[in-house]
Amino acid sequence: MLGHYENISGWGRTPQYQSKIFRPTSSAELRSVVDSIAANNENVIGRGLGRSYGDAAFLAGENVIDLNFLNRILDVNYDSGEILVESGVSLDSLMRIFVPKGYFVPVTPGTRYVTVGGALASDVHGKNHHIDGSISDHISSFTLITENGQTTVDKELNQEYFNATRGGMGLTGIIETVKLKLVPIETSYVNVHTTRVQNLEALIKTMKDTDDNYKYSVAWIDCLSKGQFLGRSVLTQANDALLGDLDRSKIENARHFNTKSGLSIPFEFPISPLNKATIKAFNTMWYFKTKKGETDSVEHFASFFHPLDGIGEWNRIYGKTGFTQYQFVVPDNKEAELIEIVELLAKKEVSSFLAVLKRFGPKNGGYLSFPTKGWTLALDIAIQAGLSEVLDQLDDLVVNANGRVYFAKDARVSPNHIHKMYPDIDKWRTVRNKLDPNRIFTSNLALRTKLI
Amino acid sequence: MLDATSMPQNVVVLGGSSDIAKEFIKLLSSRRLEKILLVGRNKDKLDEFGDELRNLNIEPQIFIHDTRNFDSAQQLANVIKNEFTRVDLLLVATGMLGNANIDALGLNGVQEMIEVNFTGPAIDITSVLPILKDQRGSRVIALSSVAAIRPRKDNYIYSAAKSGFDNFLQGIAKELEPYSVETSIVRFGFVKTSMTTGLKPAPFTIELKDASQLLMTVLEKRKTGIIYLPPILKYLFLILKNLPDTIWWKISERS
Ligand SMILES: Cc1cc2nc3c(=O)[nH]c(=O)nc-3n(C[C@H](O)[C@H](O)[C@H](O)COP(=O)(O)OP(=O)(O)OC[C@H]3O[C@@H](n4cnc5c(N)ncnc54)[C@H](O)[C@@H]3O)c2cc1C
């Protein structure tokens, strides 16, 4: 089968390259593509829905395999909630199929347009990480295609391979099928408790005191406000709604998930409308539109978990130069450093829509899995003059606080910093080299950060 | 690789001892620069700059090549292939100013002026072109000059060469576009460098530091096509370009 060169990038639309893209239509074809790439001593990386922000899901000038054709649900156990799916199935499809039947995915990122394979490769987390861990904590086994054919990787029996692949950014091979455990739900709604908080210090305290009472918790922070309002925010915490929590209008259709995608951004904005002034105005408006103090409400899954999915291709608003997402985590006792970082962001005024703050629970065994116990902050930043320097300063602060940046969002951290952030890289490499001895799986991310 | 803010890891510089190039490379070295190939004719100057870079933990390679030498131009591509897996940024800073008096220049002088500012770098770029196309994504920044726009009495040979080169670059930019290679043609105004000592500064003269900072912005904001630095010159030359000949020659002689 032939591949074709196409423009390619991550969700942040920078950096942009071209890769030779293969779109196999069967597992047999997929294997023959991998085989011929290996035979020619070429390199390749797998790609799902391209929702990683940076350079994880492509390889400049070389081969990329689009895995969206792997879209079948192979087996369902309605008693245990365990499903066996192909890796190209999206979380969106899983929700549309299983939510009405009383099951939800155990973990969902802020967009449901990700594939199961991509979610495992990044070991994604959701608003419930402090309670439920990340996606791989709900996966018992998967199959992996390498140049040596197909292997089954079981969490108990093949711990090393399992730990190298979850969070391994596609660099151990192509994940073909995944066994994932869904969680039972009564409704497709959550009971949301919203608290408006005046500044970051107060927020940190409130989250520490109350997070354990909620399955889902996340705060939206205005990173442009300063002084006594530094980090003013809106904290949303929630638990699954039960049938009894719904009013009559919702109860008839208590588990619906037929959300429509709304408007779509039809083209790249020639000049981005986002600038300091518009973003500041938006953040302020958004803070004050939330009622002072605390409020309770019932919200549908889609608007609570995936607020941006209603607008298709919203990444085009950032224009030709694109944007990057900076997401890091620092340990629990590093609140002072967290505040210092938010101070730096406010001072440098690198405009950002609301940043998202959340607390992670304990780390799992994935060598390169991002979540570690502590505070994680994520913010979208438009590419602008001087940004590289500011973000390098943030990297220094993060490294000094024993923190790390998320591979699924990164397209710029230096190799030096990456190796300090991820102390298990050597362990990971050893295992990876067993799975992929000729190192055919590689990506821009891997080359740029010298992961392999 | 280029990162999200277009910071390169591997850089090739044609005209590696040019003052503007050196200043810009020092800026890049504080970001992601790891490996660099300095190409130029002056071994001593390149070695000296190479040492400076080594102290900054950058790995410099030096290829002695006079842009007028067709044979070594042919080798350029091989040297790059051997030294680099990829070129993230090709910086073209080859060029010379010099005596503008055609009688003083003589045949050799005119030939040199044209070869160093136009045909030489054009052939060098042609030699590297297949590598750039193959990579499917990188950046080219080539230094042109506002002198390319209209000839003056005291610089028309330089101006003619730069104008040829500028037109060549515009074509190269189009040639590379389908391969996801972005080209910036930078028409600098008067930058104070060792090349310009003794010359009378023009309006909107900038210092080296400003020049390199402006190049950084070109890179970061992915400005492509023809770019005037400082940007104000775009408007100045919009006017100057359209002046009738008689007026142009009069004011250009005076400035
Ligand atoms: C709006 C938005 C919100 C987000 N919110 C969150 C969040 O809350 N939490 C979070 O953790 N992440 C979040 N993300 C990031 C996203 O969840 C991850 O980047 C995820 O990996 C994307 O999946 P994908 O299918 O698009 O994968 P891609 O982006 O296509 O690929 C990501 C990585 O997975 C690898 N990969 C993909 N498929 C396979 C496969 N079958 N086998 C092997 N490797 C494979 C690729 O090689 C690449 O390294 C968010 C992204 C967006 C755009």
This complex has an ipTM of 0.94
Per-residue pLDDT tens digits for A44-61: 999 999 999 999 999 999
For residues A362 and A133, give the distance between their C-alpha atoms in angstroms, rounded to a whole number: 7
With a 6 Å cutoff on the Cβ, whether A411 touches ligand 1 is no
Specify the CATH number for the domain of residue B114. Answer: 3.40.50.720
> Closest ligand 1 atom, CA of A121?
34
Number of domains in chain B: 1
Asked if A5's CB is within 8 angstroms of B221's CB, the reply is no
Residue B229: inside a domain = yes
Reply yes or no on whether the pLDDT at A172 is more than 70.
yes
Cβ contact B86–A5 (<8 Å): no
Cβ pair B136:A19 closer than 8 A: yes
Domain finish residue from A160, A185, A210: A185
The CATH code of the domain that includes A158 is 3.30.465.10
What is the reported pLDDT for B197? 79
Query: Which mutation among A34, A111, A120, A122 tests ligand 1's pocket best, with the greatest number of atoms within 8 A of CB?
Result: A122
Q: Least CB-CB distance to A324: which of B4, B134, B179?
A: B4
Task: Dump pLDDT digits (tens) for A62-71.
Answer: 999 999 999 9
- Please indicate, yes or no, whether residues A181 and A310 belong to a single structural domain of this protein: no
CA distance readout (Å), B109 to A324, A340, B143, B195, B246: 50, 60, 22, 16, 28
Do A320 and B222 count as a contact with CB atoms less than 8 A apart?
yes
SS3 A146: strand
A350 phi and psi angles, rounded to 5 deg: -70, 105
Exposed/middle/buried for residue B17 (C-beta within 10 Å: 0-12, 13-18, 19+): buried
Q: Pick the residue whose CA is nearest to atom 34 on ligand 1.
A: A118
Looking at the structure, do residues A205 and A341 belong to the same domain, yes or no?
A: yes
Confidence at residue B254, expressed as pLDDT on a 0 to 100 scale: 64
A173 and A194 within one domain: no
Number of domains in chain A: 2
**CA distance to partner chain A, nearest, from residue B83 (Å):** 16
Q: Are residues A176 and A202 in the same domain?
A: no
Query: Quick check: CB of A144 below 6 Å from ligand 1?
Result: no
C-beta of A153 in contact with ligand 1 (< 6 A): no
Q: Which atom of ligand 1 is nearest to the CA of A67?
A: 41
pLDDT per position as a tens digit, B152-162: 998 999 999 99
Quick one: closest CA in B to A393, which residue? B31
Query: What is the overall mean pLDDT for chain A?
Result: 95
**For position A261, what pLDDT does the model report?**
63
Whether residues A249 and A370 fall in one domain: yes
Establish if B219 belongs to a structural domain.
Answer: yes
pLDDT confidence bin for A16, thresholds 50/70/90: very high
Asked which of A185, A215, A246 is the last residue of a domain, the reply is A185
Handedness of CA A73, A77, A81, A83 (dihedral sign): negative
Measure B73 CA to nearest chain A CA, in Å.
25
In a domain, residue A6? The reply is: no
**A19: its two tokens:** 């890769």
Backbone torsion region of residue B228, taken as left when φ is above 0, otherwise alpha when ψ lies between -120 and 50, otherwise beta: beta
Q: Closest to B220 (Cβ–Cβ): which among A55, A387, A411?
A: A387
A438 is a domain residue: no
Q: Whose CA is nearest to atom 53 of ligand 1?
A: A51
**Spatial separation of the C-alpha atoms in residues B20 and A371, rounded to whole Å:** 44
Distance A20 CA to ligand 1 centre (A): 20
* A394 neighbourhood in chain B, CB within 8 Å: none
Contact A322 B217 (CB under 8 A): no
Burial A94-104 (b: 16+ CB within 10 A, else e): bbeebbeebbb
Can you give the CATH number for the domain in which A239 is found? 3.30.70.2520
Integer Cα distance of A238 and A358 in angstroms: 13
Contact A322 B135 (CB under 8 A): no
Q: Is residue B4 part of a domain?
A: no
Flag whether A147 is in a domain: yes
Quick one: A352 and A242 in the same domain? Answer: yes
* Residue among A318, A356, A220, A415 at smallest CA distance from A11: A318
Residue A432 lies in a domain: no
Is A23 part of any domain? Answer: no
Answer whether A388 sits within 8 Å of B217, measured CB to CB. Answer: no
Measured CA to CA, the distance from residue A332 to residue A280 in angstroms comes to 29
Within a domain: residue B232? yes
Q: Is residue B3 in a domain?
A: no
Query: Per the CB < 8 Å rule, is A321 touching B222?
Result: yes
Number of H helices, E strands in chain A: 14, 19
CB-based contact B83:B133 (threshold 8 Å): no
CB of A116 shorter than 6 A to ligand 1: no
| Residue range B207-220: mean pLDDT, rounded | 97
| Contact (CB, 8 A) for A330 and A401 | yes
Nearest residue in A to B180, CA atom: A17
C-alpha–C-alpha distance, residues B172 and B195, integer Å: 26
Task: Return the amino acid letter for A123.
Answer: D
Q: Give the span between the Cα atoms of A15 and B138, in whole angstroms.
A: 10
Q: Is the distance from CB of A164 to CB of A432 less than 8 angstroms? A: yes
Within a domain: A419: no
Does residue A426 lie in a domain region?
no
Question: What pLDDT digit, counting tens, does each position of B88-107 carry?
Answer: 999 999 999 876 789 999 99
Q: How many CB pairs under 8 A join A and B?
A: 78
Query: pLDDT for A422-439, tens place per residue?
Result: 999 999 999 999 999 999
Domain that holds residue A165: 73-185
A267-313 per-position pLDDT tens digit: 888 778 888 888 888 888 888 888 999 999 999 999 999 999 988 88
Give B8→chain A minimum CA distance, Å.
10
Residue A99: pLDDT over 70: yes
Q: Per the domain annotation, does B111 fall within a domain?
A: yes
pTM exceeds 0.90 for this model: yes
Are both A246 and A116 inside the same structural domain? no
Co-location of A99 and A201 in the same domain: no
DSSP code of A261? Answer: P
Q: Which domain holds residue B110?
A: 10-254
Q: In 3D, which of B121, B134, B105 has the Cα closest to residue B21? A: B121
Residues A238 and A320 in one domain: yes
| Beta strand pairing call for B181-188 and B138-145 | parallel
User: How many of the other CB atoms lie within 10 Å of CB of A199?
Assistant: 18
**One domain for residues A272 and A178:** no
- From A164, A185, A206, the end of a domain falls on A185
Question: Does one domain contain both A282 and A179?
Answer: no
pLDDT mean across residues, chain B: 95
Q: Which residues of A touch B (CB under 8 A)?
A: 5, 7, 12, 14-19, 54-55, 60-61, 320-322, 324, 383-389, 391-392, 411-412, 414, 444, 447-448
Q: Are residues A268 and A147 in the same domain?
A: no
- Is the shortest distance between the CB of A223 and ligand 1 below 6 Å? no
pLDDT of B255 over the 90 cut: no
Element (H, E) at B104: helix B102-114
Q: Is residue A56 part of a domain?
A: no
Mean pLDDT of A225-250: 95
Cis amide leading into B203 (omega within 30) = no
Question: Is residue B216, in this structure, part of any structural domain at all?
Answer: yes
Among chain B residues, the shortest Cα distance to A5 is held by B136
Give the integer Cα–Cα distance in Å for B57 and A219. Answer: 41
Residue A282 sits at the vertex; the CA angle it makes with A278 and A286, to the nearest 5 degrees, is: 175
